[in-house]
Amino acid sequence: MYKVCLLILLLLIMAACGKGEIVETIEVFVVETSEENEEGIYETTGYKKVNAITTTEERKNHIKTDIKAIEDYYDTEGNYIKTEVFHSNFKSSTVIDIDSEMNKKEELKTPSTILIPEDSSTDFLFNNLTDEEKEQVKEHVLSFTKKL
């Protein structure tokens, strides 16, 4: 009986590993930051400049999301506050009903994003990255996140 259960479990896992779609997105953008005040209303506290790599893998029976990013935080006056480098990973399987999550983060004291103009303090998405710029951002982000 044990061998039959093990065989069935292996077959289910192999079926979950079938062909799927993997999408990698490399982004450079600026977005407002906000915090909830005592009345429950969100107020703008500044903005952050972001370089990010997001990889999503969808298969028949599981989803995996991996985010590696550098975020430079500024106040509403444009004064630099801090930089956060992080790597987050989330996996969800419908076959064995397991979710797993991994988060690593480090705070730095110097601005570290690239390809964002100095005066960009409002919502900004640089979606016309060339292949060379995408590769530059990817290498840059990976050089920071591999140290986590």
How many domains does the chain divide into? 1
Average pLDDT in the 84-99 region? 85
- Give yes or no for residue 70 having a pLDDT over 50: yes
pTM of the model: 0.82
In the structure, what pLDDT confidence band is assigned to residue 17 with cuts at 50, 70 and 90? Answer: low
- Give yes or no for residue 16 having a pLDDT over 60: no
Average pLDDT in the 6-30 region? 68
Per the structure, the complete domain to which residue 6 belongs is given by 2-145
Q: How many residues are recorded in the chain?
A: 148
